[in-house]
């Protein structure tokens, strides 16, 4: 019976953790120092991770940096090529040590790996590159790399002809092997990763002179398309506004003959005829709808389109176009059209949104954008202010409504609340307290005056002045950070425009119109010069004055570093 038993000998699996891995995972620097001379740091555990993976992922940033430095400076990693090879080792998830360091936000470790020659384009099994995580999680770590991209070329440092070499490659990112054949690259794509993190977290990277010069060069390239888009939006909103004014205000105003009349019947043969304006509105709106659809499918994250209030406003207007133009195509046999009261309301909302969105287009311009941003910040502050103190306003509104129900302004809670908001601005009507019903007791009159005095002190004087103070503070803070806000806005506009014009659907439509890729390359800063496709030479006089000092300091610093 024992002869029927077959023994299967399996190779012993790799241990879950080697001593070097355990030392790095637990942050034991002394153990690392003892083990590194005798153990190769290229050793991988069952998860295909090296000790450098665990050092990069260690919670304490100072200890993690010290361990990563020890591993990269160990005797077994003596050349820069070996350091690069060690950093680029992928674990079972396809992630390198740079992936882990960037995801956890270890700025110094990321900088250490970048200067050691780490490959920022290695994709994990999920298709994520380290450069994406760096820009998204620790964008400020790139500033050290940006510093080295500004180099001295020729000329006297104090001369206006002093030439500086700018390498925009670290900003754009170098294409991977499978992407080199793609002629069109969204050059602001990598820089746009921090957009969802907010202005404050991206302040350091946006203010870097290399980034500012990059955005300036991209703006010069893409500015014609940008202004074309603004003009088309203003034309669309202007035509829609003109149609609403002609039909709903001039030709067929809402003047009901009886109080309960909800429909207005107008002759269709009025002048000027609104049909051409309706047709123009529908045609332009259809084009804008196609443009919005292409924008959504062109963005890497289409949901980002719906996070912008302006884009949501466009979609609302497209719906209002259908509602407000519909009567033009429903002419009765006796050449009359019927307009419902809700269509007048839709027209009022439409014309309001149209002119508000025109303000949004004006806000996209570099010089005027700061004023629109100020208005936006003040509106947000006011909303938070009202939300905070709404209970106080409701308290006074209910009190006045109970004490003076015979007053039309306080007959219902919504009317009372709106009246209180108006009174908050200083529009106080003290006469209403002398119009109380004489049959009421004196207590009601005294209580009404008491609440009125309390309202003047609490709301009109204290809260309203507090609101003014907060508004002034917000404006001053916004002006102080105006440069970051403008750079943020410019980056966002450039990124949206590049995603749109370089999207595969727009490029395909252009090819059908016999428009080749050479047309699109006009909007890129890349040059057809191999490895130096993003290298540009600037004279000192061509650099903005507010950046000349920083650029000169960085270029001379890098020049001194080379000499040493």
The string of pLDDT tens digits covering residues 7-45 is 444 444 445 568 888 998 888 999 888 888 888 899 888
**Domain extent for 474:** 374-482
CATH number at residue 116: 1.25.40.20
Instruction: Report the helix count and the strand count for the chain, using DSSP H and E.
Output: 23, 5
Q: Is the pLDDT of residue 442 over 60?
A: no
Considering only residues 260 and 281, tell me which one the structure prediction assigns the higher pLDDT: 281
DSSP 434: G
Q: Is the pLDDT of residue 97 over 90?
A: yes
Considering only residues 304 and 344, tell me which one the structure prediction assigns the higher pLDDT: 344
Domain total for the chain?
3
Q: Give the pLDDT score at 528.
A: 62
Q: Is residue 143 situated within a structural domain?
A: no
Q: What's the predicted TM-score (pTM) here?
A: 0.74
Least confident among 16-30, 114-128, 478-492, 498-512: 478-492
Q: Is the pLDDT of residue 443 over 50?
A: no
Consecutive H or E run containing 38: none
- How would residue 322 be classed by pLDDT, with cut points 50, 70 and 90? very high
Q: Is residue 184 situated within a structural domain?
A: no
Q: Is residue 190 situated within a structural domain?
A: no
Query: Are 369 and 251 part of one and the same domain?
Result: yes
* Cα 189 to Cα 173, 245, 285, distances in angstroms: 9, 42, 29
- 443-458 mean pLDDT: 77
Exposure on the CB side of residue 155, measured as CA atoms within 13 A: 19
* Cα 376 to Cα 352, 356, 380, 555, distances in angstroms: 17, 12, 6, 39
Query: Are 230 and 307 part of one and the same domain?
Result: yes
In sequence order, the 6+-apart residues with CB closer than 8 A to the CB of 312 are: 306
Q: Is the pLDDT of residue 479 over 90?
A: no
pLDDT tens sequence across 378-426:
888 888 888 888 899 899 888 888 887 777 888 888 888 888 888 888 7
Q: Give the pLDDT score at 10.
A: 43
pLDDT tens sequence across 496-535:
888 888 888 888 888 888 887 778 888 888 766 555 677 8
Query: Are 112 and 32 part of one and the same domain?
Result: yes
- 458-486 mean pLDDT: 78
Q: Give the pLDDT score at 257.
A: 65
Q: Which residue has the tokens 């020729």?
A: 154
Query: Are 386 and 313 part of one and the same domain?
Result: no
Query: Are 228 and 334 part of one and the same domain?
Result: yes
**Tokens standing for residue 206:** 């946006």
Q: Is the pLDDT of residue 238 over 50?
A: yes
Query: Are 99 and 35 part of one and the same domain?
Result: yes
Q: Give the pLDDT score at 529.
A: 52
Q: Is residue 378 situated within a structural domain?
A: yes
Q: Is the pLDDT of residue 272 over 90?
A: no
Q: Give the pLDDT score at 6.
A: 47
SS3 271: coil
Least confident among 111-120, 275-284, 366-375: 366-375
151 beta partners: 165
Q: Is residue 491 situated within a structural domain?
A: no
Q: Where are the beta strands (DSSP E) in 350-478?
A: none
Measured distance CA(398)–CA(402) in Å, rounded: 6
pLDDT tens sequence across 138-180:
888 888 888 888 887 765 556 666 788 888 888 887 665 555 5
Examine the fold and report which residue of 322, 357, 373 is the final residue of a domain before the chain moves on.
373
What residue spans of 105-208 are helical by DSSP H?
107-115, 130-137, 142-148, 169-172, 203-206
Query: Are 250 and 386 part of one and the same domain?
Result: no
Q: Is residue 28 situated within a structural domain?
A: yes
Query: Are 368 and 429 part of one and the same domain?
Result: no
SS3 218: helix
* Average pLDDT score, the chain: 81
Examine the fold and report which residue of 449, 482, 515 is the final residue of a domain before the chain moves on.
482
Q: Which residue has the tokens 């290229």?
A: 42
Q: Is residue 160 situated within a structural domain?
A: no
Q: Give the pLDDT score at 113.
A: 92
**Tokens standing for residue 535:** 């290298």
Q: Is the pLDDT of residue 2 over 50?
A: no
Q: Is residue 317 situated within a structural domain?
A: yes
Query: Are 249 and 340 part of one and the same domain?
Result: yes
- How would residue 473 be classed by pLDDT, with cut points 50, 70 and 90? confident
Measured distance CA(518)–CA(515) in Å, rounded: 8
Query: Are 103 and 27 part of one and the same domain?
Result: yes
Measured distance CA(321)–CA(354) in Å, rounded: 11
Query: Are 315 and 360 part of one and the same domain?
Result: yes
Percent of the chain with pLDDT over 70: 84
- 114-133 mean pLDDT: 87
Examine the fold and report which residue of 137, 168, 200 is the final residue of a domain before the chain moves on.
137
Burial of 436 (C-beta count, 10 Å sphere; 0-12/13-18/19+): middle
**Tokens standing for residue 272:** 């000027």
Q: Give the pLDDT score at 280.
A: 92
Q: Is the pLDDT of residue 106 over 60?
A: yes
pLDDT tens sequence across 54-73:
999 898 889 999 999 999 99
Query: Are 356 and 446 part of one and the same domain?
Result: no
């Amino acid at each position: 019976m024992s002869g029927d038993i077959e023994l299967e000998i399996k190779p012993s699996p790799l241990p879950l953790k080697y001593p070097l891995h355990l030392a790095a995972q637990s942050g034991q620097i002394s153990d690392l120092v003892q083990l590194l001379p005798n153990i190769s740091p290229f050793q991988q555990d069952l998860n295909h991770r090296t000790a450098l993976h665990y050092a990069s992922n260690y919670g304490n940033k100072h200890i993690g940096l010290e361990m990563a430095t020890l591993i990269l400076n160990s005797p077994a990693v003596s050349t820069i090529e070996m350091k690069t090879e060690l950093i680029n080792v992928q674990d079972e998830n396809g992630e390198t040590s740079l992936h882990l360091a960037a995801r956890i936000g270890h700025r110094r470790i990321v900088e250490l790996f970048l200067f050691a020659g780490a490959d920022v384009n290695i994709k994990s099994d999920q298709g994520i590159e380290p450069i994406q995580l760096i820009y998204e999680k620790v964008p400020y770590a790139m500033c050290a790399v940006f510093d080295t991209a500004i180099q001295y070329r020729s000329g006297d440092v104090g001369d206006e002809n002093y030439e500086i070499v700018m390498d925009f490659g670290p900003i754009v990112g170098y294409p991977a092997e499978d992407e080199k054949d793609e002629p069109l690259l969204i050059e602001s794509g990598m820089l746009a990763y921090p957009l969802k993190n907010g202005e404050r977290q991206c302040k350091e990277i946006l203010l870097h002179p290399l980034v500012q010069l990059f955005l300036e060069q991209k703006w010069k390239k893409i500015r014609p398309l940008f202004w074309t888009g603004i003009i088309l939006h203003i034309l669309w909103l202007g035509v829609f506004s003109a149609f609403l004014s002609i039909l709903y205000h001039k030709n067929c105003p809402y003047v009901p003959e009886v109080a309960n009349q909800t429909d207005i019947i107008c002759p269709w043969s009025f002048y000027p005829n609104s049909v051409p304006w309706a047709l123009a509105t529908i045609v332009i709106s259809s084009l804008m709808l196609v443009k919005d659809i292409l924008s959504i499918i062109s963005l890497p994250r289409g949901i980002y389109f719906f996070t912008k209030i302006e884009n949501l406003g466009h979609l609302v207007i497209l719906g209002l176009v259908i509602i407000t133009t519909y009567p033009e195509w429903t002419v009765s046999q006796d050449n009359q059209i019927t307009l419902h009261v809700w269509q007048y309301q839709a027209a009022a909302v439409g014309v309001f949104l149209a002119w508000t969105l025109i303000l949004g287009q004006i806000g996209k311009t570099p010089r005027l954008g700061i004023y629109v941003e100020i208005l936006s910040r003040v509106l947000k502050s006011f909303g938070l202010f009202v939300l905070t103190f709404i209970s106080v306003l409701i308290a006074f509104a209910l009190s006045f409504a109970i004490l003076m129900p015979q007053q039309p302004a306080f007959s219902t809670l919504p009317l009372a609340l709106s009246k209180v908001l108006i009174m908050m601005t200083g529009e106080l009507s003290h006469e209403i307290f002398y119009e109380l019903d004489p049959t009421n007791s004196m207590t009601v009159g005294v209580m009404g005056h008491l609440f009125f005095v309390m309202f003047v002190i609490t709301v009109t004087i204290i809260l309203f002045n507090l609101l003014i103070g907060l508004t002034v503070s917000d404006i001053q803070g916004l002006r102080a950070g105006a440069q970051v806000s403008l750079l943020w806005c410019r980056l966002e506009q450039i990124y949206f425009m590049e995603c749109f014009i370089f999207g595969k659907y727009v490029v395909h439509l252009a090819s059908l119109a016999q428009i080749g890729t050479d047309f699109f390359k006009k909007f890129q800063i890349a040059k057809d010069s191999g490895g130096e496709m993003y290298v540009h030479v600037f004279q000192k006089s061509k650099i903005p004055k507010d950046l000349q000092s920083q650029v000169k300091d960085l270029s001379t610093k890098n020049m001194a570093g080379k000499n040493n």
